[in-house]
Amino acid sequence: MALIQCNFFSEALQCSTSMTVILPQTTSHIGVESKAEQKKHPTLYLLHGLSDDHTIWTRFTSIERYVAPLGLAVVMPAAGRSFYTDMENGYDYYTYVSEELPQIARSFFNLSDKREENFVAGLSMGGYGALKTVMRNPERFAAGASLSGSLDIVDRIPAFPRDFQHIFGDRPIKGSEDDLFHVAENLAKSDGPKPRLYHCCGTEDHNYQANLRFRDHLEKLSIESTFEDGPGSHEWGYWDKHIQPVLEFLHQR
């Protein structure tokens, strides 16, 4: 595998930003390009949590080792404390992650643009961002996964009043395109493709009840999904362990 720290300019953000990228590495005779090298890599866009950055998954988990046998590229962008949202008083991080980032990453690296080979996952704030991105763009992403995700965004308002004021201002969240419960309802009504969804959460996690509500909401809407729970709290030991079944879920494509 190759591990790349990439700095570049984003038009959506109107500033320089960064991403960490893991790329599959193949071997061939010198001067001869193998068929494996010609093939574009299936790609996981892996999102960080509220207090983290684009380097965190490689620092606190063995994600590079886990994806090595899968031939999967991993793109990890920096998104600050944005909740992967086009902010009312800030930057357009939803547009950046869902639209511009895949285009930029594919221009730099040999990544697939096929729907069935593109996935988004994340933890906590990133779990919210992953499911929002996938459910709002099911024609471009085949699957999404959340680990300990902040899936009921309205429920998190009291925890982050300053952040949410910057992100949402005075605009309503409930019933909007930033409300995953509403987004799921729109997905259920759509005649378009339905992404495969996975979410997990520890029973001692502060987001556990929100994950149960979201599970029940998807069931009510007849949206197929996989939910896993069990002992665990909001910490890296849980995420390092549970990113492995996430990768297995994605690899079932």
pLDDT (tens digit per residue) in 15-28: 999 999 999 987 65
Q: pLDDT for 215-236, tens place per residue? A: 999 999 999 999 999 999 999 9
Query: Percent of the chain at pLDDT above 70?
Result: 95
Name the token pair of 168: 């949402």
Q: Which domain holds residue 194?
A: 2-25+36-251
Q: pLDDT for 31-63, tens place per residue? A: 555 554 568 999 999 999 999 999 999 999 999
What residues does 200 pair with on adjacent strands?
Answer: 147, 228
Indicate the number of domains in the chain.
Answer: 1
Residue 31 lies in a domain: no
- Which CATH number do you get for residue 106? 3.40.50.1820
Residue 76 lies in a domain: yes
Please name which of 187, 185, 43, 67 lies closest in space to residue 115, comparing C-alpha atoms. Answer: 43
Residue 155 lies in a domain: yes
What is this structure's pTM? 0.95
pLDDT at 252: 83
Residue 19 lies in a domain: yes
Residue 213 lies in a domain: yes
Q: Which residue positions in the chain have pLDDT lower than 70?
A: 27-38, 253
User: What's the CA gap between 152 and 13, in Å, rounded?
Assistant: 26
Q: What stretch of H or E contains 105? A: helix 101-108
Report residue 113 CA to chain centroid gap.
16
